[in-house]
Amino acid sequence: MGLFEWIGGQFIDVIEWTDDSNDTLVWRFPRQGNEIKYGAKLIVRESQVAVFVNEGEIADIMGPGTYELETKNLPILTSLKHWDHAFNSPFKAEVYFLSMRRFTNLKWGTKNPITVRDPEFAMVRLRAFGTYEIRIDDPKTFMTEIVGTDGHFTLDEIDDQLTNLIVSKLAVVLGKDKTPVLDLAANYDLFSEYITEAISPYFKEYGLKLEKILVENISLPEEVEKALDTRTSRAITGNLDDHLKYQSANAMSQNGTMGDAMGMGMGFAMAQQMAQSMAQPSQQQNTQPSAPPPPPNSYRWHIAVNGETKGPFDENTLKQMANSGQITPQTYLWREGLDGWKVAKDIMPNLFGSMPPPPPPM
């Protein structure tokens, strides 16, 4: 290397980053001992920010644009370097470029089923998967909390952590949501918006913004899906008689030992016999006389006699006791549902017949 080449390599004239990857979040400008000279050009493209780090401390953050590095463009770095006036000598600083664009089609999914309560199935285990989109929202927080001194930070380094964060919070969201499992498929869009809003605050702690979460599928365990398939199949068959005729005729017509016409005829005959035999028990049940319903429950009464509780008695017994004088209109009665003892004449006046008027005067 010649003298002039060495001297030229010591001073960087243009600082920029052209990203040709799809997964780089942060890239550090390769300084490796080179110094940045006064007046060097900094180019920050759209969807980028440049972060200057001086001796491990974040200084200036520059948005999109073209800058000539001077004291007026680097106020924080100027303060840290104690440049009271315009500097003319080269300086050393680490320059990180952050991609502020949206990163899409990132995958998430549950490794194990999530157990939730369901209005129809009472309790069920669910699996879910889909995609999500993020972007860097706070460069300083992201650099401090996540990147550190990593000179080439990619999505692979944080994807697992973000997926685990989504799945862990998804269990809480599903637990609070009351939508039946069978109705979730019709509400994937609304459900996606709901969980995006619920989980977004946790991404802010990393300096990231969760743009959206898309739910592609929420599935039931295999055995539950088989049970639903069986239930659906029964509903699709429709009329049992017609279905049996069709199935039997189709099976018999495929038998190679019979002609097509004979197979169809025997199939219809067998299907008709099967339908009649299955209908007979139900017809016998319909001809049997129905039993009368049980009598309505009557109240069970307690009476208070000389400070003691006696009973319970039904209303017929109370009438007999009233006729024999064992209870009077002033006797206290109680039954389940009353808030306390009541006088007999107030709650059961029908126990006592009408009293005759006083006799006429002599």
Domain residues of the chain, as ranges? Answer: 3-99, 103-223, 238-276, 301-351
| Nearest by Cα to 314 from 296, 330, 329 | 296
Q: What integer is the mean pLDDT of 248-252?
A: 67
Q: What is the pLDDT of residue 257?
A: 47
Residue 247 has pLDDT above 90, yes or no: no
Confidence of residue 121 (pLDDT cuts 50, 70, 90): confident
Coil, helix or strand for 64?
Answer: coil
- Min mean pLDDT across 89-103, 133-147, 243-257, 281-295 is at 281-295
pLDDT in tens, 159-173: 999 999 998 888 787
What span, in angstroms and rounded, lies between the C-alpha atoms of 104 and 166?
15
Alpha-carbon distance 232 to 153, whole Å?
50
State phi, psi for 294 to the nearest 5 degrees. -65, 150
Q: Which two tokens stand for residue 107?
A: 């995958």
Task: Give the pLDDT score at 348.
Answer: 81
What is the structure's pLDDT at 138? 95
34 or 311, which is more confident? 311
User: Which has more pLDDT, 25 or 115?
Assistant: 25
Q: Is 232 helix (H, G, I), strand (E, B) or coil?
A: helix
User: For 298-306, what is the mean pLDDT?
Assistant: 82
Distance between CA atoms of residues 213 and 217, nearest Å: 12
- In this predicted structure, what is the pLDDT of residue 336? 84
What local confidence, expressed as pLDDT, does residue 339 receive?
A: 82
pLDDT band at 207 (very low <50, low <70, confident <90, very high): very high
Tokens, residue 58? 């974040």
Q: Across the strands, what pairs with 153?
A: 26
| 328 vs 296, more confident | 328
The more confident residue out of 268 and 51 is: 51
Segment (H or E) for 241: helix 240-253
Instruction: Quote the crossing angle between the two packed helices 260-287 and 240-253, to the nearest 10°.
Output: 150
**Mean pLDDT, residues 300-308 taken together:** 84
Contact yes or no for 331/303 (Cβ under 8 A): yes
What's the CATH number for 103-223? 3.30.479.30
Q: What percent of the chain lies above the pLDDT cut of 90?
A: 22
The residue to which tokens 């024999």 are assigned = 324
Return left, alpha or beta for 207; rule: phi > 0 is left, psi -120 to 50 is alpha, else beta: left
Cβ(195)–Cβ(168) under 8 Å? no
Gap between the Cα atoms of 190 and 110, Å rounded: 20
Assessment of whether the complete model's pTM goes beyond 0.85: no
| Euclidean distance between CA atoms 127 and 113, whole angstroms | 5
The per-residue b/e assignment along 172-190, b for 16 or more CB within 10 angstroms, e otherwise, is ebbeeeeeebeebeeeeee
As a whole number, mean pLDDT of residues 63-87 equals: 66
**Maximum average pLDDT range among 1-5, 216-220, 327-331:** 327-331
Q: How many of the other CB atoms lie within 10 Å of CB of 167? A: 17
Question: Pick from 144, 138, 136, 146: which is nearest to 57 by CA?
Answer: 144
- Tell me the average pLDDT across 302-314: 85
Mean pLDDT, residues 256-264 taken together: 50
pLDDT value of position 362:
66
Token duo for residue 231: 């239930």
| CATH number for the domain running over 301-351 | 3.30.1490
pLDDT tens string 264-280? 555 555 656 665 665 55
Where is pLDDT greater, at 134 or 171? 134
Question: What average pLDDT does range 116-139 have in this prediction?
Answer: 86
Residue 256 is given by DSSP the state T
179: three-class secondary structure by DSSP: coil
Question: Which has the closest alpha carbon to 36: 109, 108, 110, 91?
Answer: 91
- By percentage, how much of the chain surpasses pLDDT 70? 68
Better-predicted residue by pLDDT, 182 or 96? 96
Average pLDDT over the chain reads 77
